[in-house]
Amino acid sequence: MEYAIKDLYPTPVYFGLVENKDEIQKEFSDCIGEIDFNYSKSFGQTHHLSDPTFKEHLFEKYKIEKFVDELKKHLGIYMSHMGFQLSGFSFESSWISLYRKGDYAHVHHHGGVDISGAYYHKINKEEGDGQFFFTSPNLALDTSLMGKKFGGRIPVPPEEGALLLFPGWLPHGVETHQLDVERIVVSFNIHVQGQMMDEEMLSKLYK
């Protein structure tokens, strides 16, 4: 009996730890002290943002260079895994999300951008620390028993100095933060430049 089983439409999500954590933590700590965090009028009172209008570019405004240099390495690895030869990238937006007690982020996506990302600047490994999670983009999964097996929320265990990269279309959210101490995450959206690798290029990569 001949047969084949293939996983269709896989969704690669990247988890990594920055190498120069202390320098990057200081880089963000220095700018956080200058920011007046507020709620977004369009989102409602869900969580505090460095720029509720999303018109400012945090990395440009505060000259965030060490983190961007580190990000280039991680992004290159991520894109290569997906068979994409990265020649450059640009930021559509960058901001900081600050979660105080009662704050959360509703399920949403960043459609229209290639890659979205998050860097965990300050987290608390305690129960009640609002956790980031992914959900399936397939809304029909909850309509059948088999569909529920492949759906549901997938939580992301937080760690300070961790970097998360994922396709912008992938739905995600943040559970309600229940602690008195703040939780701080740096977020960004990226457009990539380059080309998909052909079979010869891929064979050299995975040789």
Residue 204 has what pLDDT?
60
**141 vs 137: CA distance, rounded Å:** 9
Residue 172 has what pLDDT?
95
**Is residue 21 very low, low, confident or very high in pLDDT (cuts 50, 70, 90)?**
very high
User: For 98-148, how does the pLDDT look when each residue is reduced to its tens digit (9 = 90+)?
Assistant: 999 999 999 999 988 999 999 999 988 877 788 899 998 887 777 777 777
Residue 109 has what pLDDT?
92
Whether pLDDT at 207 is above 70: no
Report residue 37 as tokens: 């965090």
Kind and range of the H or E run holding 143: none
Residue 145 has what pLDDT?
74
Residue 199 has what pLDDT?
63
Name which of 103, 119, 90, 98 is nearest 51 in CA terms. Answer: 98
CA distances (Å), origin 119, targets 2, 36, 138, 191: 46, 20, 26, 17
Residue 55 has what pLDDT?
82
Q: Mean pLDDT lowest for which of 18-32, 58-72, 131-145?
A: 131-145
**Is residue 8 very low, low, confident or very high in pLDDT (cuts 50, 70, 90)?**
confident
Whether pLDDT at 22 is above 80: yes
Whether pLDDT at 87 is above 70: yes
Q: Which domains does the chain have, with CATH numbers?
A: 14-205 (2.60.120.620)
**Is residue 76 very low, low, confident or very high in pLDDT (cuts 50, 70, 90)?**
very high
User: For 148-169, how does the pLDDT look when each residue is reduced to its tens digit (9 = 90+)?
Assistant: 777 778 899 889 999 999 999 9
Task: Please state the rounded mean pLDDT for residues 39-68.
Answer: 88
In this structure, are residues 11 and 116 in contact, taking their beta carbons and an 8 Å threshold? Answer: no
Report residue 85 as tokens: 């030869």
